[in-house]
């Protein structure tokens, strides 16, 4: 299986949402997944990339089970920087 196969599998999951974010030094992916779980979401995939403007490490999460707007609102309420 190639990386592109994994990407296509995660990108094409029906009913899933992609969330992009940049973490501060005090924030962790564990905290992010706990917030997603609190709104009945499940993290299907996680990846990283370089954010093109700031050149900082950015993360993407593919989630299912939770409304994307509800999940992003919960993250924003906790102070996370979403892209």
Can you give the pTM of this predicted structure?
0.80
Return the minimum-mean-pLDDT range out of 1-10, 50-59, 72-81.
Answer: 1-10
Give backbone dihedrals phi and psi of 80, rounded to 5 degrees, phi first.
-75, 145
CATH topology of domain 3-82: Alpha-Beta Plaits (3.30.70)
- Asked if 56 and 8 touch (Cβ cutoff 8 Å), the reply is no
Percent of the chain with pLDDT strictly greater than 70: 86
CA distance 16 to 63: 5
């Amino acid at each position: 299986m190639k990386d592109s196969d994994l990407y296509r599998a995660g990108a094409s999951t029906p009913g899933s949402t992609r969330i992009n974010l940049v973490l501060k030094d005090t924030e962790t992916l564990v905290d992010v997944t706990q917030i997603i779980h609190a709104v009945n979401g499940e993290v299907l995939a996680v990846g990283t990339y370089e954010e093109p403007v700031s050149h900082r490490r950015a993360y993407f999460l593919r989630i299912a089970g939770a409304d994307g707007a509800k999940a992003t609102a919960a993250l924003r309420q906790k102070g996370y920087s979403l892209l």
